[in-house]
Structure 1
Amino acid sequence: MPRAAAPRDLAGALLLSLAFGSIHAFGVLMAPLEQALGASRGAVSLVYSLAIASLTLGVFTAPRFLPLGASWLAALCGLCAALGIAATALLATPLAAWAGFGVVFGFCNGVAYSLFLSRAAAALPASPGLAAGLVTAAYGLGAAGFAQVLGLALPRLNWAQVLYGFAAAILVAGLAAAALFGREAAAPGRTAGDRPPAAFTRRLWLVYFLGASGGLMVIAHAAGIVAPAASATTLVAVGNVAGSLLGGVAGERLAARLSLALPLALTAAALGLLLAVPAAGLALLGLCGFAYGWLIAAIPVVIRQSLGAAAFAPAFGRVFTAWGVAGLVAPSLAGLLYDWSGGYGGAIGLALAAALAGLLLVSSGAAFQVRSPPPQR
């Protein structure tokens, strides 16, 4: 018989998601860190690149930590992440920023990401897709909200004070989530039979990489693709949140193929129209953000629906590395193509081709197969 809903667990998952989404507000800190650390733009940009790589590693290794109590793990993530951010302010060197913000905060972010996805699904056992959509949307809202707060604080306080406040907010959120979570393990125990099928994870990895590449390219370069820059960035963020909410529900209610094919088709359509009708660029970037949000919310739901709760964390950890690779490759490649051509046409065309390839892979019965969802216990 399905468990009853657990509002406290859902509240804790949403709070943790909002707080750790802040890592993607790093762009606001880039210029102040350049000046404070006496570092180049490339050196400071490496902080975020390390954070993306460490976040991916955190999600991948999270199954090793999830058997701990959810409360302990939330508190530990909050504490270690806060220490990493505070160390950046205290030591004030590029190395401290790479290690503290990039590696430590990034890694804790990945573990927390897996934790709040697991707790949200457990909190709404009758609707895990809605749960995934809510926490994924909260993660995006956290990035937007912290960007606004940091942007308001930086002209009034020095950079170190802002980082100390940032660290305090993460610590409080982690402790508050710990108080809300139950005492049980953060994820169901595993058995030998819970090992995720290699063929399934490989195919879904490729779909995720191809689909996420276009969305991440647009998120990174929205301000340069169309003007005004602020409106472009905002519309992509709003579309991302809206798509996350719909994507989780779609992943639960639609067949796996369809729930993944639709956002890939939307991405391809939006990018194709962006090449053909540049005047509609703002709306089309918002559509790209919507499709990206749908895809990243649907992926964990498809995994959970296809493999069951016990195999979710290890399978998601493997598939999520596709997002990390896309995050490192797609924005950088788009920048190189822009430098070479003087425009974004080549980057958009390449992202369009990736989305179409992902759509073809999902649509191919021979290339994308999942077993029936396990019976509810």
Structure 2
Amino acid sequence: MNRERPEPWPSGRPTTARLIASGAVANLAVGTLFAWSLVAPRVMADAGAAQGRGSAVFALALVVFTVTLLWVGRGQRRLGPRGLLGVAAVLAGAGLGLTAAGQRPEIPWIGIGLLFGAANGLAYGVALSLAARVVDARRGAASGLVVGAYAIGPVVLGVVAPRVLPDIGWRTGLAVLAVLVAGLLGIAAALAPGGPTSGTGAGHRDGQVAVRRRTLAALWLIFAGGALPGLVVFGTAAPLASAAGLSAGAAGTAVSLLAAGNLVGRVGAGWWSDRVGRLAALATALAVSAIALAGWAVSTAPAVVLCGFAGIGLAYGAISALVPAATADRVGPRAFPTVYGFVFTAWGCAALAAPLFDGGAPAAGGSRPHVYLLLAAPLLVAVAALASLAYEETSRLGR
């Protein structure tokens, strides 16, 4: 494992608390993208767009998010974290504001799909790069808090929006959200270090370890294989719970357990990995996901189904926190933004592939175990990649 000290920023080394606070506030703001479904049907209908196109707008935002993240390393070397977060604030405010005021079918595609999607990529990339600068003994906890903050926004809006939107309307709601998101990103920028960061990309050796293609491939496969079951279940949670025989109330509980598990997994797994090691924590997360799927394959008892939702949420949240921390361990904070931009494409590919897996899942209802075995297949790939990383680390320590 790479045991380096964080390099000082041009303006001096910020405190750990300030790095985490900046990243968490930034992710709290842009994570609201995942509450788009709360207003998407009304937005698309009022804009004159075809029914059901709201999900396509969200898919475009995820693609733009992923592609933008590839540019964050170069952007930080030119503008610095504060500058990039400032750009994200402008893009997010403009995108949400444009969507709130727009009257044409193409406006949501531009406002949410392009502008807010790009703001997500910039803010998320900067947030995780700030967590990567925390000393490795506390890096897991820092990464967990930062990615955990990303999951809080949709939870809060899921509680608040249904209560206030009928009274104020979706246009006013989006306009208020535009101000809040831009304001939070402005606060995050004020907390972030200023000035361009030094260093180059993955091949830089000044205080870095060389990044092997085998290591990058392993991290990519762990992220893709570990996240895919969670993404599939998140996309089909309610119908999957109903098909498993749960009542409407129990199905709602299952969805809540999934979301709660995701949040707890993000924060808890990062903290725990600082104590037991990143690879051990990753192995546990993959095992929890596999056990949940195996339980669904053999039983539709309500307790088994509900525990499975909690387990899938925990595992998905853990993978989301542990992969960036494991990446930073191996490449150091300077190379992290560039390298993680590549690693994160695994999540983007898994998100786009999830609909290919979820077609039969809701109808399975526990009566088609092969569906769950299919969802477990990506986990086997992730386990093999994790074994490769463990072997590589053992060989390095044995020299």
In the superposition, the TM-score normalised over structure 1's length comes to: 0.90
| Distance change in 2, residues 1:362/1:29 (3 Å) | same
Question: 1:323: how far off?
Answer: 0.2
1:56 aligned partner, one-letter code: T
AA of the residue aligned to 2:298: A
**8 Å CA contact 2:41, 2:52 repeated in 1:** no
Partner of 2:61: 51
Q: How big is each residue's C-alpha offset from its partner over 1:226-251, in whole Å with a ceiling of 9 and x where there is no partner?
A: 14343222111110111111222344
Of 234, 248, 271, the residue aligned with 1:219 is 234
Q: 2:95 is matched with which residue?
A: 84
Give the Å deviation of 1:368. 6.2
Q: Which residue of 2 aligns with 1:305?
A: 329
- Contact 2:88–2:185 (8 Å) recurs in 1: yes
Look up the match of 1:233. Answer: 255
Question: Residues 272, 126 of structure 1: CA spacing in aligned structure 2 closer, same or farther, 3 A cutoff?
Answer: closer
Residue by residue over 1:190-216, the C-alpha shift from the partner in whole angstroms, topping out at 9 and shown as x without a partner, is 264356322211222122111110011
Instruction: Find the counterpart in structure 1 of residue 9 from structure 2.
Output: none
- The residue type equivalent to 2:372 in the other structure is I
Structure 1 residues 63 and 347: CA distance shift in structure 2, 3 A: farther
Give the equivalent residue in structure 2 for 1:262. Answer: 284
TM-fit CA distance, 1:128: 1.4
2:39 alignment partner, SS class: helix
The worse-fitting range, judged by mean Cα deviation, of 280-289 and 65-74 is: 65-74
Which residue of structure 2 aligns with residue 129 of structure 1? 140
Instruction: From 23, 34, 43, give the equivalent of 1:13.
Output: 23
Letter in 1 for 2:296: L
| Aligned residue identity for 1:218 | V
Q: Contact 1:63 / 1:313 at 8 angstroms: preserved in 2?
A: yes
How many angstroms does 1:255 deviate by?
4.2
Shift of 1:308: 1.4
Q: How many residues align?
A: 370
| Aligned residue number for residue 333 of structure 1 | 356
Gaps spanning 5+ residues in structure 1: where? none
- What residue ranges of structure 2 are gaps of 5+ in the alignment? 7-12
Q: CA deviation at 1:37?
A: 2.3
C-alpha displacement of 1:320? 0.4
Residues 134-153 of structure 1 mapped to structure 2, 5 A cutoff:
134-153=145-164
Q: Is the 8 A contact 1:34 1:44 kept in 2?
A: yes
Q: TM-score, normalised by structure 2?
A: 0.85
Contact map agreement 2:20 2:145 (CA 8 A) in 1: no
Q: Deviations over 1:284-338 (max 9, x none)?
A: 11110001111110001111111211221111110100100111111x1234335
Secondary structure of 1:193's counterpart equals: coil
1:295 equivalent among 298, 319, 338? 319
Once the 2 structures are TM-superposed, how far is the Cα of residue 188 of structure 1 from its aligned partner?
Answer: 4.8
Q: In the alignment, which of 28, 40, 58 is matched to residue 50 of structure 2?
A: 40
1:354 matched to 2:378? The reply is yes
* 1:23 aligns with one of 22, 25, 33: 33
Q: Whole-Å Cα distance in 2 between the matches of residues 88 and 4 of structure 1?
A: 36
Q: Distance in 1 between matches of 2:221 and 2:288?
A: 18
Identical pairs, percent = 30
Conserved in 2, the CA contact under 8 Å of 1:250 and 1:298?
no
**Cα pair 2:211 2:331 within 8 Å, conserved:** yes
Match of 2:70 in 1: 60
Return 43-52 or 359-368, whichever deviates more.
359-368
User: Is residue 203–residue 368 contact of structure 1 (8 Å, CA) maintained in 2?
Assistant: no
Query: In the superposition, relative to structure 1, how do residues 147 and 66 fare at CA in structure 2: closer, same or farther (>3 Å)?
Result: farther
Contact 1:260 1:295 in 2 (8 A): yes
Which position in structure 2 is the counterpart of 1:319?
343
Residue 7 of structure 1 contacts residue 123 of structure 1 at CA under 8 Å; is this kept in 2?
A: no
2:297 maps to 275
- How far apart are the structure 2 equivalents of 1:149 and 1:57? 31
Is the CA contact 1:16–1:116 (under 8 Å) kept in the aligned structure 2? yes
Paired residue for 2:123, among 94, 108, 112?
A: 112
The answer (yes or no) to whether the contact 1:57–1:110 under 8 Å persists in 2 is: yes
Matches within 5 A, 1:242-253: 242-253=264-275
Find the aligned partners of 1:370 and 1:74 in 2 and give their Cα distance. 38
CA contact (8 A) 1:188 1:309 kept: no
- Measured against aligned partners, the alpha-carbon deviations of 1:143-194 in whole angstroms (never above 9, x if no partner) come to 2112223222211112211111111111111111122223244x55226435
Distance in 2 (CA, whole Å) between partners of 1:125 and 1:267 is 26
Letter in 2 for 1:70: P
Alignment RMSD, CA only? 2.5
Q: Which AA in structure 2 matches 1:62?
A: V
Which range moves more in the overlay, 350-359 or 20-29? 350-359
**Is it true that 1:205 corresponds to 2:217 in the alignment?**
no
Question: Given the alignment of the two structures, is residue 160 of structure 1 paired with residue 171 of structure 2, yes or no?
Answer: yes
**AA partner of residue 194 (structure 2):** R
CA contact (8 A) 1:15 1:177 kept: yes
